[in-house]
Structure 1
Amino acid sequence: MSLNPAPARRRRPFTQVDVFSAEHYRGNPLAVVVDAEGLTTARMQQFANWTNLSETTFLLPPTHPDADYRVRIFTAHEEFPFAGHPTLGSAHAWLEAGGIPKRDGVLIQECAAGLVRVKCDDGRLAFAAPPLTRSGPVGEEQLQRIAAGLRLPRTELLDATWLVNGPEWIGVLLESAAQVLSIRPDYFAMDGLKVGVIGPYPDAGGPGFEVRTFIPGDAAAEDPVTGSFNAGAAQWLIGTGRAPASYMVAQGTVLGRAGRVHVESAGSDIWVGGTSTTCISGTVLL
């Protein structure tokens, strides 16, 4: 007999949120267990594996006095200290469940990476991009692997940098959005690397950039819409003068999604936001 039996299962409020799209079922889905108090890490990981989504989050009482709530973020195989669309989807679910922020206009989310500010602007939630924990040049051997994985000549990778803010992204700049959309990746060639590719659109009036993110070896090898990568890419592109202080990104186009990520630099902050919509709500036995 086990000396520490697992806690008994009970029904908990649950929601599935579509993030970064105003159109239902055309963004990036997130499963949220709204009341996860008492769940073990093993049970959280098991449930996240079962949902078979890119991420599943679990909302808990905060441990920091400034935080409104705490979130734990799991992929099917591991826990992340931070991720973008889980941050916005969790905030949406917490507010929809009746959460009231301690401060007007902004809520504070506690996660393994620290405290993240989330604000509501024009009906969209946006998070303040966390600082990069690693940036700078990418090794030539890795760039050769990425070029092979994108099926492009090495010379067509105009620039590349590490953009680590939880997930270990490598950002790659291409000449155009059309080139980004034409990629047919070879995942085997870049196995073990998380690669985000971005290219500008030629005309104003719509999205400024097209983004695609590849996670070789993951169950979902191309992510529909990626907040963490876009947060890092915004710091890179705005910081180097390649993007204006405010712009919009399209992502998920080749997957039949309509992801839209809104980026705005304000003072020392870069805000990354989008529309979230609830698609499923009910309870889950955990």
Structure 2
Amino acid sequence: MSRHGISWVDVFSPTPLGGNPLAVVHGADGLDEDTMARFARWTNLSETTYLLEPTAPGADYRVRIFTPGGELPFAGHPTLGTASAWLARGGRPAGDDVVQECGAGLVPVRRRGDRLAFAAPPLLRYEPVVDPGLLDRIARSLRLPPEALLAASWLDNGPGWIGVRLADADAVLDVRADWSAMAGLELGVVGAHPEGAECAVEVRAFVGDWVVEDPVTGSLQAGLARWLTDHGWVPDHYVAAQGTVLGGTGRVEVDREGDSVWIGGHVGQVVGGTVELPGPGAGPGIGIVGP
């Protein structure tokens, strides 16, 4: 067994326990991939991350991101949560911004007081969904008539999101997913709040393979930000709400600066301590102990 620091953080909410939780394992260089995957399944969080020494020039640290189903090259709330946990444990960036190394490359994370924001990576696939069969399946997955889908676009930045625009925020909040129809899809649904509301849009994220609604989703919000601002459906600076149906208070701060999109929000430290994990080839056995 090996002992590692662990941070449990809450990402994208100014209200305690209102965002998306993340477990961050520190000093994880000695762990093998199987142990990382097993612990991610054990936490049963949408993501668990592992902090490692960087290998790329210019990076402050390297991170591996695991869902209960496997590894991701990039994800949004794990990026902010990992950066926050690294800083809280004494991490010192070489420059003004924190630079994270992950499967998608180098991702800058900038600090704004008690908030962090990451630079959205390039979209790997960004084009309208035009296949009639896929559009019909999306509508069935959301239990909506096809005409309720005002627009749909691929927004793949590692996770293979498809963005779906509905008439308004109420339509988004009313969606009741058909998980059997959604299997294999990752859908992000967005609709506008009335002008003058606290938040410009309401967002929900559905992952059919996991049969789960994600509380607050940075990678999806990054893709949506590019799509929505490109079409002029939102201004270059806005706040998105997410997690409302789940009882959360997710707030994602979006800033478009030319071709750059920054996705930010508050990160709260909730739990700190140590975790004991098996070494390579060891049998089962995981334990969390106090600080």
Task: Give TM-score, length-normalised by structure 2.
Answer: 0.93
Which letter maps to 2:47? E
Counterpart selection for 2:10 from 6, 18, 23: 18
CA–CA distance in 1 between the matches of 2:87 and 2:42?
25
The CA distance in 1 between the partners of 2:94 and 2:86, in whole Å, is: 13
Amino acid at match of 1:42: D
Selected match of 2:244 from 253, 265, 275: 253
Indicate which of 156, 165, 179 corresponds to 1:173: 165
**C-alpha displacement of 1:205:** 4.1
SS of aligned partner of 1:99: coil
2:13–2:19: 8 Å Cα contact kept in structure 1?
yes
Q: Which amino acid aligns with 1:224?
A: P
- The SS at the match of 2:179 is coil
Show the counterpart of 1:269: 260
Counting only pairs closer than 5 Å after superposition, residues 137-286 of structure 1 correspond to structure 2 as 137-138=128-129, 139-218=131-210, 221-286=212-277
Is there any run of 5+ residues in structure 1 with no aligned partner, and where?
Answer: 1-8
Does residue 90 in structure 1 map to residue 87 in structure 2? no
CA shift digits 1:80-139 (9 cap, x unpaired) = 0000000000000000000000002x1100001100000012421000010000011222
Say which of 116, 127, 130 aligns to 2:107: 116
Shift of 1:163: 0.3
| SS of structure 2 residue aligned to 1:136 | coil
User: What does the per-residue CA deviation read over 1:140-188, in whole Å, with 9 as the maximum and x for residues that have no partner?
Assistant: 2111011111111101100000000010000000010000001111111
In structure 2, the residue corresponding to 1:277 is in which secondary structure?
A: strand
Does residue 44 of the first structure (1) align with residue 36 of the second (2)? yes
Q: d(CA) in 1 for partners of 2:259 and 2:137? A: 35
- Residues 1:63 and 2:55 aligned together: yes
For each residue in 1:169-222, what CA deviation from the matched residue of structure 2 results, as whole angstroms up to 9, or x when unmatched?
000000100000011111111211000000000122400000001011305x10
Name stretches of at least 5 consecutive residues in structure 2 with no aligned partner.
Answer: 278-291
Indicate the RMSD between aligned Cα atoms, in angstroms.
0.9
Percentage identity across paired residues of the two chains: 55
Greater CA drift, 51-60 or 198-207 = 198-207
SS at match of 1:197: strand
Contact map agreement 2:202 2:242 (CA 8 A) in 1: yes
Q: TM-score, normalised by structure 1?
A: 0.95
Shift of 1:268: 2.5
